[in-house]
Structure 1
Amino acid sequence: MDLINNLSLGFSVAFTMQNLLYAFIGCLLGTLIGVLPGVGPVATIAMLLPATYALPPVAALIMLAGIYYGAQYGGSTTAILVNLPGESSSVVTVIDGYQMARKGRAGPALASAGIGSFIAGCVGTLILAAFAAPLTEVAFKFGPAEYFSLMILGLIGAVVLASGSLIKAIGMIVLGLLLGLVGTDVNSGVARYSFDVPELTDGIGFIVIAMGVFGYGEIIANLSNPGEKRDVFTGKVEHIYPTKQDWKLMMPAILRGTAIGSALGILPGGGAMLAAFAAYTVEKKTKLRPGEVPFGKGNIRGVASPESANNAGSQTSFIPLLTLGIPPNAVMALMVGAMTIHNIQPGPQVMTSNPELFWGLIASMWIGNLMLIVLNLPLIGIWIKLLSVPYRWLFPAIVLFCAIGVYSTNNNTWDVWMVGWFGIIGYIFIKLGMEPAPLLLGFILGPMMEENLRRALLLSRGDWSVLVTRPLSATLLGMALLLLIIVLLPAVKKSREEAFVEE
């Protein structure tokens, strides 16, 4: 009964004209950005974060959430039509989606991605609503020691689930933790690692790093590719709706993908991307029906399942953020930044101190998913035209928008220069095959870890054993250690590397 009362409160908040408008703007912008190759939801949210300063907290978070799951959806359009994933979790959609488009079946491919995303988004939001309250009750039992141990587990989880080399992922997290130490020490008031640069005494801005590494870094990487690599789809999209046979194949795949995405989306370090890979692997291992197209040749299940998985994962990734205050991925780290800007402390107290925001955000997700399906199927033709815009016209607008957004945060040109430098660093990361998302998680969690560790040691009078004598803290550290040991086993290490490679 409490859940029904809470959801009714949420829908009363979400159904105001202002919040409906911002949900629509978020979904539209998210899809637009998802359609553009190389500009993912992280870069978009980082760019638009300054624009939310003037908005009420509920409207700001509803819009940013709409951008997130809108980009998850939009990434499938470019993957299917252009053979380029709009963002990381659409990588596997390319394999069968583009083959369907080449065979003149782009319409059913896009429709299956849209319908799968809608069903998965609704289920993911329902799971979020059902589990939020019980998990929040558990979160109130957490003290500083438990929060520190939970963050250690989160960072190790991010290392395990990051694609590519383990050493590189650890290096990125350590670099993020070190960047988080720059600024003035809260307890002593002494500037540290500022190298006598006055602008660094307040620390490095979160938006500066996010926009530089993800925004400018991706732009430089795209500009380094020759223009002819942009294989623009010019065919006609006809027969949008899937056939009866398509429905028979895709519905079980959508349900399987939704289940996988709902479970893996909660995990730190890019659960939505891992969910898409896992869902595609499961479909490949599921026996083909007589007359069914092989995988890699345009099988509709190869589109429906991973798209459902990444959308369900994007919804359930809000669970650790809203209940524990821990961001499980780079986008959720940006949401923490947005909440902090509006003087909201992420964590279990949000539900009790600000129920309108908490349940309004959850209710808006259902509305947002409905908006996405209504918005996108009729607009497929427009997205195709947008893909034909030359990148040489597109990137200066993105660069300018980033610069204005960063400057408007503190009215400081230093921040604009810093974004440029971090853009170059981001490009180097891409060239070295180093995934930048763990860096952002380390940067966000570093100061929080330090603060909770200091509190725990202060309460225990400097006794480090408090981390292992408290049962919940010891359990979390044990899980982190076990996770590290398992992933370092040779057999697991090999299968982990194979999981992120698709033929």
Structure 2
Amino acid sequence: MDLIHNLGMGFSVAFTMQNLLYAFGGALLGTLIGVLPGLGPVATIAMLLPSVYALDATPALIMLAGIYYGAQYGGSTTAILINVPGESSSVVTAIDGYQMARQGRAGPALAAAGLGSFFAGCVGTIVIAAFAPPLTELAFKFGPAEYFSLMVLGLIGAVVLASGSLVKAISMIILGLLLGQINTDVISGTPRFSFDIPELTDGIDFVAIAMGVFGFGEIIANLGQPAEKREVFTRDVKGLWPTRQDFKDAAPSVLRGTALGSILGVLPGGGALLSSFASYTLEKKIVKRPSVPFGKGAIQGVAGPESANNAGAQTSFIPMLTLGIPPNAVMALMVGAMTIKGIQPGPQVMSSNPELFWGLIASMWVGNLMLIILNLPLIGIWIKLLTVPYRFLFPAIMVFCCIGLYTLNNNNFNVYMGAGFAVVGYIFYKLGCEPAPLLLGFILGPMMEENLRRALLLSRGDWSTFATRPLSAGLLLAAALLIVIVMLPSIKKKREEAFQED
């Protein structure tokens, strides 16, 4: 009964005209920055933090939250339409979503992403309201050793992401891990592999790699083909809405992605990102005979990861609201906004500021409803983009991406990096290498290293800490089993059969 009473109070706060306007403004702005590659929610919220001084705490946090989960929606749009992930968590969506767009099924892909995101967002909000304390306890059980083991499992699972040979998939992951080492040492604070280039001391920007390898690489590959084969999108648009079979295929994936994202979103270090990769791996394991093979336009490969990253985005609010511990950069900025307004983040927020706590949770449901109402009518407009001849479309994509790269740090360096990775992306295309595992290795590498070194510092250099902690040992055992299963001759043969048609 307390939960119903608290949610009633939350909705009464969320449905005031001021808060509805700020929720809509945040959701709209979030969608736009998700669609624009380069300008992510972290940069946008950082730029908007000064405006928090002029607002009350509740509308300020409602707006910032809307920007965050709105960006998860928007990031899938460019991933599906032009193979440029707007957000890091949309990398996996590009694998099958872009193939669906090329086959004239961009409408069903965008609708599956939107509806899956809406369902996952609503469930994530209910999970926050009902299960915040027990899920926070679960997050507490994860120390550095457990995080390291979880990421090892994630990287081994990523081998399943790549079509083609296992050797190429493992090579991509290792290359990603190596690129992730170009930064400043997390313990000693000394730059590594930066070759005295100041811009590299903070590491290579994810957006530069994603745009270069996915966006620019795809354009170069298309321009390398004869003119008659260059039109990458079919002019035969096969409907704006998913068919009954699409709904039947996507529904179980949405449920699985939502459940997985709700749990992984609580964990610090990019819950939405880990959720989307984990969901794609899970779908490939569970869906034995998809209507369309994975990597060739399977709707499960869009619906599952999109649901997972939105559920993860919602539940990442749990540690921030209940413990005052930000699980990612966006939540750290939200903690900053609360501090600006004189609110101490932590367990006392629920009791000392119940209207803020429950109003924010209720506004997430309202914001998700606004996002689906906003995004579904836009599907027809996005599809119109694909009818533009490719000779006009590719220069526009290039300009669009270069502006996004330039605005990352307001200098040319990231544009040059994007151009460099465009060449790398084209080489991958020629060699038949899938770039998604490279990006996962690049993102998880620094986090893995940090947790490995932290675990060893806490255990005074004792490596057995990874095996003696039950949760860590279980995750490493699961990773070892996955290696054994993938290497089994029968599994290897099935995997080759699944990817043999090009």
TM-score, structure 2 normalization: 0.68
Give me the whole-angstrom Cα distance separating, in 1, the residues matched to 2:366 and 2:442: 33
Query: Are the equivalent residues in 2 in contact too, given 1:47–1:211 (CA < 8 A)?
Result: no
Q: CA deviation at 1:383?
A: 3.6
Query: Are the equivalent residues in 1 in contact too, given 2:93–2:301 (CA < 8 A)?
Result: no
1:463 aligns with 2:462: yes
Query: Are the equivalent residues in 1 in contact too, given 2:46–2:333 (CA < 8 A)?
Result: yes
Match of 1:55 in 2: 48
| One-letter identity of the residue aligned with 1:233 | R
1:20 aligns with 2:24: yes
Summarize the Cα distance change of 1:453–1:412 in structure 2 as closer, same or farther, 3 Å threshold: same
1:111-150 alpha-carbon deviations (Å, 9 max, x no partner): 9858954774466546754666533311112222222222
1:407 aligns with 2:406: yes
- More displaced stretch, 2-11 vs 465-474: 2-11
Match of 2:203 in 1: 203
SS for the counterpart of 2:480 is: helix
Summarize the Cα distance change of 1:77–1:149 in structure 2 as closer, same or farther, 3 Å threshold: closer
1:336-371 alpha-carbon deviations (Å, 9 max, x no partner): 565578788xxxx99869989998887666445534
After TM superposition, the structure 1 = structure 2 runs for residues 35-434 of structure 1, keeping only pairs within 5 Å, are 44-48=36-40, 50-51=43-44, 53-56=46-49, 59=63, 62-70=66-74, 72=76, 87-90=94-97, 113=112, 117=116, 120-121=119-120, 125=124, 129=128, 133-226=133-226, 228=228, 229-231=231-233, 233=235, 255-262=251-258, 270-271=277-278, 273=280, 308-309=303-304, 311-318=306-313, 366-367=365-366, 369-371=368-370, 373-375=372-374, 378-379=377-378, 381-434=380-433
Q: CA deviation at 1:421?
A: 1.0
TM-score, structure 1 normalization: 0.68
SS for the counterpart of 2:180 is: helix
1:224-259 alpha-carbon deviations (Å, 9 max, x no partner): 34554245537897xx899xxx77x77655644433
- More displaced stretch, 179-188 vs 305-314: 305-314
Give me the whole-angstrom Cα distance separating, in 2, the residues matched to 1:11 and 1:499: 52
Q: Can you give the 5+ residue segments of structure 1 that lack an aligned partner in the other structure?
A: 34-43, 80-84, 285-294, 297-301, 326-334
Match of 2:340 in 1: none
Match of 1:330 in 2: none
Q: Can you give the 5+ residue segments of structure 2 that lack an aligned partner in the other structure?
A: 50-59, 84-91, 265-273, 321-326, 337-343
SS for the counterpart of 2:48 is: coil
Query: Are the equivalent residues in 1 in contact too, given 2:112–2:250 (CA < 8 A)?
Result: no
Query: Are the equivalent residues in 2 in contact too, given 1:213–1:425 (CA < 8 A)?
Result: yes
Q: CA deviation at 1:23?
A: 0.9
SS for the counterpart of 1:461 is: coil
Query: Are the equivalent residues in 1 in contact too, given 2:258–2:308 (CA < 8 A)?
Result: yes
Give me the whole-angstrom Cα distance separating, in 1, the residues matched to 2:386 and 2:377: 16
Give me the whole-angstrom Cα distance separating, in 1, the residues matched to 2:451 and 2:68: 28
- More displaced stretch, 397-406 vs 257-266: 257-266
| One-letter identity of the residue aligned with 2:235 | F
1:164-192 alpha-carbon deviations (Å, 9 max, x no partner): 33222222221122122223324334433
Overall identity of the aligned pairs, in %: 48
| One-letter identity of the residue aligned with 2:220 | I
Give me the whole-angstrom Cα distance separating, in 2, the residues matched to 1:222 and 1:481: 39
Q: CA deviation at 1:490?
A: 1.8
Give me the whole-angstrom Cα distance separating, in 1, the residues matched to 2:426 and 2:346: 39
Give me the whole-angstrom Cα distance separating, in 1, the residues matched to 2:110 and 2:464: 56
Give me the whole-angstrom Cα distance separating, in 2, the residues matched to 1:211 and 1:258: 27
State the Cα RMSD in Å. Answer: 4.9
Q: CA deviation at 1:16?
A: 4.3
Query: Are the equivalent residues in 1 in contact too, given 2:109–2:302 (CA < 8 A)?
Result: no
1:319-347 alpha-carbon deviations (Å, 9 max, x no partner): 8866799xxxxxxxxx9565578788xxx
Q: CA deviation at 1:422?
A: 1.8
Give me the whole-angstrom Cα distance separating, in 2, the residues matched to 1:202 and 1:110: 35
Query: Are the equivalent residues in 2 in contact too, given 1:261–1:313 (CA < 8 A)?
Result: yes
Query: Are the equivalent residues in 2 in contact too, given 1:162–1:269 (CA < 8 A)?
Result: no
Match of 1:486 in 2: 485
Query: Are the equivalent residues in 1 in contact too, given 2:11–2:362 (CA < 8 A)?
Result: yes
Query: Are the equivalent residues in 2 in contact too, given 1:261–1:312 (CA < 8 A)?
Result: yes
Query: Are the equivalent residues in 2 in contact too, given 1:89–1:276 (CA < 8 A)?
Result: no
Give me the whole-angstrom Cα distance separating, in 1, the residues matched to 2:283 and 2:360: 25
Query: Are the equivalent residues in 2 in contact too, given 1:279–1:305 (CA < 8 A)?
Result: no
